[in-house]
Amino acid sequence: MPTTPRSFVGTAFPRLGLLGNPGDGYGGRALATLFYDFRAVVRVSEAADFRLVPNPKDGFQFDNLGEAVDSFSGGGCEDGLRLLRTAVRRFPAVVAESGCRLDASWEAASVHVGYETDIPR
C-alpha cells in the first residue's frame, strides 16, 4: 500500500514596527503590531528530490528579455526564493544553536519547500 507523503506547514503574520532613537525623547522605544489580515505560509513536503518551489506570483517567466529587465530594474529581485535559500543555508547552524543534534542522514533529506503569501509588497 503506497503511503501519502507527509507535509508540514508553518504560518507567519506580518508586523509593523516604529523604532525610536535613544536621543529622540522616546528613549529608543519600539512599538510593533501584528496584522492578522495577511499571512505567509511555508509548506515542506516529503518528495523524491530536494526542490525549492517558486511562487507563481514571483514572476520568473516573461514574454521576452526586455520584460524581465524592466521587472528587475525596480527592485524586483526581492522574492520569496531568496528567503528560502537563506533558510536552507542557515538550517544546520540554527539547529546546532538550539542544542539539538542532527544525524548524518539530514543531508540526504528529499523535500519540496514552497511558499505562498498575500502580504502586499
Provide mean pLDDT across the span 64-83. 71
pLDDT confidence of 42, banded at 50, 70, 90?
very high
Provide mean pLDDT across the span 80-105. 86
C-alpha pair distances (Å), 9 with each of 12, 27, 43: 10, 39, 5
The alpha carbon dihedral of 109, 84, 86, 11 has a sign of negative
- Nearest Cα to Cα of residue 121 among 89, 85, 74: 74
Residue 75: CB atoms within 10 Å = 8
- What angle is formed at CA 98 by the lines to CA 52 and CA 49, rounded to 5 degrees? 20
Q: Which of 36-50, 74-88, 89-103 has the lowest mean pLDDT?
A: 74-88
